[in-house]
Structures are given as C-alpha cells and as structure tokens.
Structure 1
C-alpha cells in the first residue's frame, strides 16, 4: 500500500485504510456522508474502512483512492503498475468502445489510474465529434412575441395575452445544436473539468469548452439516458454517451460544503473477470458458439411461486461437444478448488449435457485434470471430467489474453479428439 502526499492513495482489494495513517478525518467523513453505514465497495471497521471485491477509483474532493485487483496477495507490494495495467486492459476488453479507442495513437497520456483513462477517452470522443461535426435536431420552443411567426398555441395565448392583445404566444421548431444529446455531453464535460487532476488534459478540456456549444445545465438521472434518441445520426455519439453515463450516474456532488465531491467508478472484480474471459473467447473462438449466462430452470416449489435457475458463466458449443466454464477470481495458493465449486460444475454438466467442464482461476500457470467418481460403485472415475485452469497474470496483457484463449481452445480440442 502506498500513499503520495495524501492525494493519491493506492490500495488492493480486501485491504484496509485507517484514519490518521492513510486517511484524514475529513476524507473518512466524506466517505461516510455519501455512503452511510453501508457501501458495496467497503465495510466500516474501527477507525477506518476495509475494501471488498470491488476495484476501481473513489475520488473524494482532491484525493483519489485507487483500489486495484490482486489475485496473489502473497507477492508483496511494489506491483501497482502491473495491476493497474491489468485492470485497465480488462475494462478495455469488456467495453467494446474502449478496446478500439484506448489502443489508438491519439491517446498519449500515461494513465495513473482508471479515472485518467476514462477522462482522456471522454475528451478524445468529444474531440472526434467536433471534428466530424455536431448534429442538429429540431427543438420545440414556446414564447410570447409581438410577431406571429410559427404556430399559435391557442390555449396559452388566451391565458397570457387576454389583456395584451398585441402579443402572440407561439410554438416554433428550431433546427439547433441545443438539444438533449449535447446537454448530457456538456454536463459530463463540466464534471471532467471539475475533477481532472492530470495537467496534460487541462488544455484539451479548455479547448473543448471553447468549441462545444454551451448548453443549459440539466439534472441527469437514469431516465435521461433512456430518453436519448437511438437513430442513425446519433450512432457516432454512442461511445461518448456511454462514458458520460458512467461518469454522471456515479458522481455525487457535495452540496453542503462544495469541495468534497465524490466520484465512484467501481467494478465487481468477480463479474469483471467473468466478462473479460467471455469477451476474449467470443472474439477469438470463431469456430465455436460462445455464450454467457445461459439460463435453465432448475427448481420450483410445488406449493408457491418460488423458483431457481442455473446460469453457468460460459457455454461453448461445437459440432459434437459442449464445454461449460466457470470463472473464479481467487488464488488457490497450491490448494484444490472448493467442494462447493466442484458440486456446482457437476450440476452444470448434468443439466447442460456438457462433455467436459473447467474452472478458470488466475494464478501460477497450471492445468489440473480431474474426473468425478462413478455414482454406482463410488470407486472408479467416470468419463465426466472437470479441469482446473490456472493462468498467470502477465505484465504483457496481450500475451496474457492469448494464454487464456489458448488454454480454453486446447481444452476443447482435447475433448473432441
């Protein structure tokens, strides 16, 4: 765990930050003010907080708390750069727009955190929109005027102009840059300007504010993004809007004191690992059908409406065989998988009629083959197998991705032979 001038704090998942040692009293109280006694990101301990399986960044005022993944906690400190790259690459892979754009030569800034990455991605997307040209949309406007230009809003005209008969309450449609799409993007840009601490981005943000048409400030909620148009003209806006949604819906301005704003970009590491492996396999195993979270009914109460389903992380279908995979973000440390994990895989194989199965863990490169005992004799091994794939995290993240794909592909090919 490291700390730099109490402004940028780096900690790993499941580790602690203590008041007086890692956090000031103000920072601790700011976290409590926005998350109360419960947060999915951390739990309260005596004089501090302990982080859970969520990773990402929490920015509290001018202090950035970066929570990094770490499968092998025994490897010691001093590996912040490695795990930073791991987290950023996993997010790039899971989010399609990040995969294309984060590898672009346009992105030159060294990312000291996930927040830096998303801020620069957002700035880059807005620069691209301005380069191609911002779209205009028809916007309905109503106003009281002395000239009848447009459609007369008769009811409001009577209400407002019963005395002033020289006026007309009209309704017009203007083809303008001032519409909901740009209001959302402009609001997110102001948040980025307020929270950005990377000096290399200051000039680019200022240049965007000069060229982007100033918009009326709006309060953004999840329903705001549901109302955004999904048409061909706004297709180019989608990457910028996705980042804007992530930023705006996780931003908590400090209304009372005005200087302890909180932005939380946090990701469940178990879900991220699952989606990371799924996206890698879908993009690389073109000869197979790779599906995620396939749902199958498992149990239902006969006296009520309660029910339960089975949803393995990944199913791979070939011409003559099926493989079921489950991902676990934990380090086995030389031990075998838990009995619960193995029982879960056995049920998956039975219900989805899979030929073989595998549990995928991060860790030291190792493949452990295994099979279940036959149900009848309980002495000999059955043909139904469940393998353990441990794949070490590489500093070269592209090599790491290739190793994951190759391990699963080898498993599938051996099963077909």
Structure 2
C-alpha cells in the first residue's frame, strides 16, 4: 500500500511544526534537505529547524516523493486575516493561490488559464497542474503545427560511403565487415534541441501531474513525439527564428518546469520539483508590468531600469523611475518620480528609516522630485504618509524632494487581482506637487 501523501500549505515566513503535519516522517525532512543542498539558490527557500520548518520569502510549489508543499504570499497570514476556522483558512489559501497564479501570468507572460478560488478549491494541488496543463496544451499546439527539422552531424556505420570516412572507428568496427563504412555525415531530422527540451518537459508533466487528465494527455503526446536524446537545459532562452517562433510559449513553460525539476532526487518515476519565486521580486515586477501598461494613457513614461554607481563598486538601481509628462489637464513641466516597492506591512503604517533613506538616495542619484514607497494594502488602518525631505546641498537649488507612502490594493474586495493598480499608482504620482 503506497504511503499517504503529506500536504503542507503555508504562508511565506511562517513556521510549521512537524507535530502539526499529518503523517510527517523523518524521510520528508531528509528529502527537503537534499533538495535544498542540490538546487542552486535553494539554501534560502526555507530553514529546517529542530521542531519544524520556517519558510522564507519564496512562494510557489515544492513536490517530492510523498510530499507536496505550497507556499503562499504572507499578506494573508492567519494572525492577520481573521481566519478563525479551517474553512475560512482554506478560503484564504484558495484566494491567494489564484492571486499568485495571476501575478505570475502577468510577470512571466505565460498562457496560464488561472482558475478562480472556487475552481482551485474543487481540485487539490491545482496550482501545479495549472502550469502543467498550460504546457501540455502549448506543446500539443507545437506538435500539430509541425516539429522543426534541421541539419546536424551524426556518426555511425552506413552501407554506402557518404560523408567523411572516420578511419580509426572504421578500422576498429568494420575490419570483418567490408560492406560497411563508419562515417561522419549530415542528417536532416527532428533531433533539434527545442524538440528535445519539449519532450523532456512532457515527461516531467506526465510524472508530476496530480490530474489524471493532464497526465494522460502528456503521455499520449509522448507516444506520438519522436524519441529524442536529453540535452542540457540552457540558462537563457534559446533565440527563436521565423521557423521556430511558434515554440515561444511552450518553450517558456518547458524551461520553467525543467529548471524546477531535480532528477537527482528521482525515486521510481517521481522526481522532485521546486517551482519557487521570490515574492519581493515578484511584487516589484508585477507592479512594474502594470505601470508600463497604464503609462501611455496616464501621460507618463516608465523608464528602462538602469543602475548608477553609488559608492566605489556598489551600484544603486531603483525599482521604477517614472517621468510624469504634461497633459491638457495638468500642464506642469515634466517631473521625475521614484517608485520603490516593498512587499511587507510596515508597523503602524510608518516606513522604516532604511526604506525612506533608500528612496532619498534614489531621488538624489536620478534627480527626482518625488519618491514613493509602495506597500501592499491590508486594512483601512493604513493611511498614506507624506513629507518633505530636509534640504540638501546636492539637490538643485530651490528643489524640494518629497517622500510618500502608498498602500497598493493588490486584491479587490471580491478577492480578484486589481487590474487598475498601475493607473491608480500613476494617478497618485501625478497628484504630488
């Protein structure tokens, strides 16, 4: 009888005691420790303590043989959400699973069919299956459009002399078979690195999917996919051309899954998978994406991210630099603003000294008149704060630099992502004087 699947659902930065996890065994901790050791950057994902697991700022999915871990954003920590029972807490989990998937869809530009909280609640482990189902669908589309072929070199025995005769191998293998020729020759077939990567990811989908339908679809596609060798997973996305442009969405998902996969922990047919994202970076990139989309209509320009030398070899790079342009309703001259995103809830709604100093330094380096600290909204008790920085000899004469806090409503009252977050932030910047 197979061992029971151990499931953990936690918030980032939360501590989960081993004694509270049903069916927990020492082997699960050993597998997590091995995964952490072998995965690049895995040391910061979580800390295995004597009595439990303390998660860090990473959110996403960890899947090991017999163990499934989901780590959700911290804005719905049980101590702050008011979840008084299991049903309420489950609703909070489902809400933030949906929100997390929606943010990833925007930031990574992936064709994820993000279900609502009700859809996630209806099927366990749906968050991982959303990625797997999206990839299988895209891979199926690539297969139907036709797998690309290319020329590549191959070595082997042939019945006719074609290509370059490899004398050493020929004499070694064909001394008694004079009808054969060991050659290096050009072959035109589907043994293309892109096809190899998609097949490797299809195998991951077939092995990791909890949904029987997703797994079956992946295995069916593997039956029709040509047998191909495994290749090294590239660190950068391969450059696509006119013939391979249709591989784009499937390739992006394939690379995401393959980089998250850990074959060294393979047990039977089940491999480890760690699909984790730094929530701080995700929040920054998500807000920046919405700001860029809203900029044109809001009369603003979101400048490309640049860095400047701060001290010696230390460089500074703000999250977003925004240029507010004159409009018919606001004819004031163009002005530069700094937006710095922080995925945390400041105590009492007050920014920490380090946060406000950072914005002040950015304003000086980029010649900005305004600096905005953008925190996530969690309650009506949070109120924006605004004030002028002390005068500085480094600033342009007569220039007053102001700093302000704002609390971004990432989720609407109906618990869906706020599509107007970018426009609302730009409006707040325009209202600054």
Q: CA deviation at 1:128?
A: 1.2
State TM-score, norm by structure 2.
0.82
Q: CA deviation at 1:194?
A: 0.9
Q: CA deviation at 1:160?
A: 4.4
Please state whether the residue corresponding to 1:354 is helix, strand or coil.
coil
Closer, same or farther in 2 for the Cα pair 1:265/1:46, shift >3 Å?
same
CA distance in 2: counterparts of 1:123 and 1:265, whole angstroms: 17
CA distance in 2: counterparts of 1:277 and 1:321, whole angstroms: 20
Please state whether the residue corresponding to 1:290 is helix, strand or coil.
strand
1:270 to 280, 292, 312: 280
1:129 to 142, 146, 150: 142
Q: CA deviation at 1:6?
A: 4.8
**Structure 2 counterpart of 1:119:** 132
1:137-177 Cα distance to aligned partner (Å, 9 max, x none) = 22322221232244544564455445644322233323212
CA distance in 2: counterparts of 1:25 and 1:399, whole angstroms: 39
Please state whether the residue corresponding to 1:312 is helix, strand or coil.
coil
Q: Contact 2:148/2:192 (CA < 8 Å) preserved in 1? A: no
CA distance in 1: counterparts of 2:82 and 2:28, whole angstroms: 27
Unaligned residue ranges in structure 2 (runs of 5+):
84-88, 326-333
Matched, 1:315 2:325: no
Count of equivalent residues = 393
1:102 to 106, 109, 113: 113
Matched, 1:41 2:45: yes
Please state whether the residue corresponding to 2:130 is helix, strand or coil.
helix
Q: CA deviation at 1:236?
A: 1.4
**Structure 2 counterpart of 1:303:** none
> Pairwise CA RMSD of aligned residues?
2.9
Q: CA deviation at 1:233?
A: 1.3
Unaligned residue ranges in structure 1 (runs of 5+):
301-306
CA distance in 2: counterparts of 1:393 and 1:385, whole angstroms: 24
Q: Contact 1:147/1:168 (CA < 8 Å) preserved in 2? A: yes
Please state whether the residue corresponding to 1:400 is helix, strand or coil.
coil
1:294-323 Cα distance to aligned partner (Å, 9 max, x none) = 2011112xxxxxx21111110012441111
1:80-113 Cα distance to aligned partner (Å, 9 max, x none) = 1111111111101101234xx5369xxx987744
2:253 to 240, 243, 252: 243
Closer, same or farther in 2 for the Cα pair 1:72/1:149, shift >3 Å?
closer
Matching of residues 65-84 of structure 1 within 5 Å: 65-73=69-77, 74-77=80-83, 78=89, 79-84=92-97
**Structure 1 counterpart of 2:18:** 19
Matched, 1:10 2:6: no
